[in-house]
Amino acid sequence: MTTTVSALFDRYDDATTAVHALEAANVPRSEISIVAGNADDLQKDTHADKNEVAADAGIGAGIGAALGGAGGLLTGLGIMAIPGVGPVVAAGWLVATAAGAAVGALAGGAAGGIVGALTEAGVSEEDAHVYAEGVRRGGTLVTARVDDADAPRLQAVLDQNRSVDLTGRRGEYQNEGWTKFDETAPLPPRASIDGTHARPM
């Protein structure tokens, strides 16, 4: 049996370090996904033409190289839009699942592509909403499908790489009046690519 381990990161660099750590722990690249919500900032760093990037996610190999990505996994990065989240830089199995979940959401199913994809993968709905909100606010989500027996060890690998304390972050959001991921809610000012957690002014 498999389970999904996941972590949210404020800094893209910390997320890619976590991906490296998962690979070093023998998690196959095909079982790892990354979704970075600060696509606009990352894209600017590549000096790529925005219209070309948006039009052709196939140039993801160039984006991955420009970002100094985590080896072979991130060379498949591409820019895509996830309903409710907007443009993201993404690679891996969660992307395809999120695209399918987004169709379900449009048909009245799960709220948002990432929420639906994560809950389908076994993440609690409560946590999935925090992850989706974190990505929407510019964070980076790393997920991996792993054997049940390895899940505690591999979750610890993610947590040791400066991941966000999900309970604490949920509390911060709730103190702002947040209750769950809502694609129509006003987006608080977002931090720049330096990864500093953004809070409403």
Summarize pLDDT for 108-137 with one digit per residue, the tens.
Answer: 333 457 888 899 899 999 999 999 999 989
**Is 195 domain-assigned?**
no
**Is 200 domain-assigned?**
no
**Is 193 domain-assigned?**
no
The answer to whether residue 190 scores a pLDDT higher than 70 is no
Question: Per the structure, how many domains does the chain have?
Answer: 1
Listing DSSP states for the chain in one string gives -EEEEEEEESSHHHHHHHHHHHHHTT--GGGEEEEES-HHHHHHHTT--HHHHHH-GGGHHHHHHHTT-SHHHHTT-EEEEETTTEEEEEESHHHHHHHHHHHHHHTT-SSSHHHHHHHHTT--HHHHHHHHHHHHTT-EEEEEEEEGGGHHHHHHHHHTTT---HHHHHHHHHHTT--S--TTSPPPPPP-TT-PPP---
**Is 45 domain-assigned?**
no
**Is 44 domain-assigned?**
no
**Is 133 domain-assigned?**
yes
- Per-residue pLDDT of 43-57, as tens digits, reads 454 444 433 333 333
Give the structural domain span for 155. Answer: 2-38+79-175
Q: Helix crossing, 113-120 with 125-136: angle to 10°?
A: 140
**Is 119 domain-assigned?**
yes
**Is 92 domain-assigned?**
yes
Q: Which residue has the higher pLDDT, 71 or 158?
A: 158
Predicted pLDDT of residue 54: 36
User: Tokens 């966000």 sit at which residue?
Assistant: 164
Predicted pLDDT of residue 198: 41
Residue type, position 32, single letter: I
Band (pLDDT 50/70/90 cuts) for residue 94 is: confident
Predicted pLDDT of residue 116: 83
